[in-house]
């Protein structure tokens, strides 16, 4: 995950486990926000970059992004 302010990257978070994404993504987003001291309400835009390895992972990420956008 990458957090940007404008075009500038201000934080990033990586983890292994592409094929366990449905079980780990929300936990990793929470860790990332806590580590960056960012509240979900502070996020203005969410983008999903399609995975070259797994179409299922892309669909999971898009579904979670859509759910989070409801709060934006």
Distance, CA of 50 to CA of 48 (rounded, Å): 6
Residues whose CB is less than 8 angstroms from the CB of residue 1 and which lie 6 or more positions away in sequence, other chains included: 12, 13, 14, 28, 29, 32
Counting the structural domains of the chain, the total is 1
Residue numbers of the domain that contains 45: 2-69
Give whole-number Cα distances, 39 to 3, 23, 36, in Å.
12, 22, 9
Q: Which long-range contacts (CB under 8 A, 24 or more apart) does 56-59 make?
A: 56/21, 57/18, 57/19, 57/21
Question: pLDDT tens digits, the chain, 72 residues: what are they?
Answer: 888 888 888 888 777 776 788 888 898 889 889 988 988 888 888 888 888 888 888 899 899 889 887 765
């Amino acid at each position: 995950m990458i957090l940007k302010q404008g075009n500038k990257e201000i934080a990033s978070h990586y983890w292994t486990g592409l094929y366990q994404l449905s079980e780990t993504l929300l936990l990793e987003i929470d860790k990332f926000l806590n580590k960056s001291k960012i509240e979900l309400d502070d996020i203005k835009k969410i983008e999903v970059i399609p995975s070259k390895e797994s179409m299922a992972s892309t669909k999971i990420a898009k579904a979670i992004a859509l759910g989070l956008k409801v709060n934006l």
